[in-house]
Amino acid sequence: MSNVLAEVTGNLGSIGYGLAAIGPGVGIGIIFGQGVQAIARQPEAYGLIRQNMLLGFVFAEALALIGIALAFVFRA
């Protein structure tokens, strides 16, 4: 069993980032899905909803970019 674990080499940070990118991806999907639904329900609030939607997108995308930067910084 230890032979198998010893043979796992390479950049495991890439695998970790790939798994960590699932969170922001799902978050962005929820943000835009709910934003479109909110605009459909209340078209007069389009500006406020769009602003909040884009702000949420920026924060979620920033988490993904920080994750990829850390994957390269802490390369094993």
Cβ neighbours of 49 (radius 10 Å): 19
Cβ neighbours of 2 (radius 10 Å): 6
DSSP characters over 7-66: T--S-HHHHHHHHHTHHHHHHHHHHHHHHHHHHHH-GGGHHHHHHHHHHHHHHHHHHHHH
Q: What is the pLDDT of residues 22-59, one digit of tens each?
A: 888 999 999 999 999 999 999 999 999 999 999 999 99
What is the value of pTM for the model shown?
0.73
